[in-house]
Amino acid sequence: MRKDRRNNRISPAVKQGLTIAALLLFVGVGFFGIRSFLNNASYFQVKRITFVGLDKKSVAGLLSKQLMYDNIFRLDIARIAASFKRSYPQFHDVEIVRSLPDELIVKVMVRKPVAQLKEKDFFLIDNEGVIVSDGSHRPSGRYIIIQGLKGFAGLSFGKKIYSRELVCALQLAVLLQEHQAQLRQLIPFAERMDSFSVDATLYPSLYVCVDSLELRFHGDALPAQMASLLNVLPSLKDKIKQLKYIDLRFGDPAVSF
């Protein structure tokens, strides 16, 4: 009788253990079954790719070929986005988002040139010092020319330049670009943005040449010097063609005819 009672006491525990084991087995089989379905079903193959911020159809086509018809869950989208950034230096950032069941949205932030760098050829460059074009024998009329940097021979598409001189020259180029409407109005021979060239040869002094007129800046406090230039130019408008230089480096502008 005692044996039977002991068996009856153990029996519920064994039953509970078997029940839990059966549930775990069921959940495991279900999990792997669902996972297998998600990874292999044609329903989740990538069939559409939408690009946001990328206008070049040729580049979009090349990127699409690398993603089409792969399983949307198998794709390591973070690794692919990083790979795209390495392969295309003109991309500042890339983000890939899944849109179930079969679409990927690729958001691209393309680097925008703010100036052109003159070595032997002309190279478009963005505000972080990254070359975003191949070399051209002719300047682009849309961007200010930066020249006089030392030790940067052999420029090429995708190369990043680390230079304090370039940082200041780019800052000045951006300021000139921002105020181009006023400058064109006050300096009538500044017809295009490539009429302006920033020379960093004598850094920290930066010399902006506009035809025969020279604007002299210092690498520090460039916004204040630009404001000073815009204040003094209206009073010189009728004599602008007789000016040799306007020196903005030492507080009050110094003007030479």
Question: What's the pLDDT tens digit per position in 173-199?
Answer: 999 999 988 998 899 888 777 789 999
CATH number 3.10.20.310 is the correct assignment for the domain at 42-110: yes
Question: What's the pLDDT tens digit per position in 67-97?
Answer: 999 999 899 999 999 999 999 999 999 999 9
Question: What's the pLDDT tens digit per position in 232-252?
Answer: 999 998 888 899 999 999 988
Strand partners, 256: 245
Query: If 0-12 CB within 10 Å is exposed, 13-18 middle and 19+ buried, where does residue 145 land?
Result: buried
Architecture of domain 113-256: 3-Layer(aba) Sandwich (3.40)
Question: pTM surpassing 0.85?
Answer: no
